């Protein structure tokens, strides 16, 4: 595994060169749901919490989505990158357990690949990397994509608990790509576990595009404010260089 910043630049160069890949990032919330533990805090889009979704046990609708989420985590398709928590953030030695349980490690990366100490480079260089690309943005219905520092071809609007309530939007993305006969599209998704499910389903469907779980990295533009600690230059998280495994 390369160091934290080098890994970021690997992905930025792939985007710039038009190399297709999928990147799905799994944090502690997604892993909690996969392990069938109730998760019931929704992000209220004011920046006051860091949770984006809920999970109710013993509920058929939630269980259907949970299985799709689990499938996206277990998948080992070529070109399908999975970001998992690093040793230094939150999980400690549990990160090692996650790492060693995954048999095919070829496409593993940091769940934090775009944030913390990588955020400044990501934020500064993403617009130029995306210049001239065909971009579909998937984000909350209250987000303002016109404020983004790059042009968006299409905005797919989702709700707060989209991983349960808006799965139909995955087919909508496919339809847009098909109807307009698009290829080499970059699909950016900000939507908690909806992103994990959608990116996996889309990569299975077509590998002629790039699908990226963008998380909260564009919130400063989409909502006009900092919503995470790493967004602020004076916060220690903005400068934190994550480590993969503390061997």
Q: What is the pLDDT of residue 142?
A: 93
Cβ proximity of 202 and 186 under 8 Å: no
* Per-residue confidence (pLDDT) for residue 90, from 0 to 100: 61
Give residue 100's pLDDT. 79
Quote the pLDDT of residue 217: 98
- How many residues comprise the chain? 247
pLDDT of 104: 87
Nearest to 184 by CA among 130, 106, 235, 225: 130
Token pair, residue 224, equals 């006009």
- CA 207 to chain centroid, in Å, comes to 17
Token pair of 171 as six digits = 């087919």
| pTM across the whole model | 0.93
- Per the listing, tokens 């944090």 go with 27
* Short-list 154, 137, 149, CA closest to 198: 137
What string of pLDDT tens digits covers the 247 residues of the chain?
569 999 999 999 999 999 999 999 998 889 989 989 887 655 443 444 444 688 888 899 999 999 999 999 999 999 999 999 888 876 667 777 888 788 889 999 999 999 999 999 999 999 999 999 999 999 999 999 999 999 999 999 999 899 999 999 999 999 999 999 999 999 999 999 999 999 999 999 999 999 999 999 999 999 999 999 999 999 999 999 998 876 5
SS3 39: strand
Residue 95 is predicted with a pLDDT of 77
Structure tokens given for 232: 């602020």
pLDDT of residue 146: 98
Model pLDDT, residue 43: 45
């Amino acid at each position: 595994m390369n160091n934290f910043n080098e890994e970021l630049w690997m992905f930025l160069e792939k985007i710039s060169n038009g190399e297709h890949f999928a990147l799905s990032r799994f944090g502690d919330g997604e892993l909690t749901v996969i392990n069938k533990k109730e998760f019931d805090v929704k992000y209220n889009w004011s920046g006051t919490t860091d949770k984006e979704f809920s999970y109710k046990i013993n509920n058929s609708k939630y269980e259907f989505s949970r299985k799709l989420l689990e499938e996206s985590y277990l998948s080992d398709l070529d070109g399908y990158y999975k970001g998992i928590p690093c040793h230094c953030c939150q999980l400690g030695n549990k990160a090692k357990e996650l790492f060693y349980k995954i048999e095919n490690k070829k496409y593993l990366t940091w769940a934090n690949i775009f944030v913390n100490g990588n955020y400044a480079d990501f934020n500064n260089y993403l617009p130029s990397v995306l210049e001239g690309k065909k971009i579909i943005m998937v984000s909350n219905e209250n987000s303002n994509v016109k404020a983004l520092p790059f042009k968006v071809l299409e905005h797919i609007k989702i709700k707060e608990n989209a991983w349960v309530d808006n799965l139909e939007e995955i087919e909508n993305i496919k339809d847009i790509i098909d109807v307009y006969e698009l290829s080499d599209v970059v699909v950016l998704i900000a939507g908690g576990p909806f992103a994990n499910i959608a990116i996996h389903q889309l990569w299975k469907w077509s590998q002629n595009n790039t699908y990226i779980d963008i998380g909260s990295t564009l919130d400063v533009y989409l909502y006009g404010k900092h919503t995470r600690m790493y967004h602020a230059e004076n916060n220690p998280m903005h400068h934190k260089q994550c480590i993969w495994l503390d061997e």
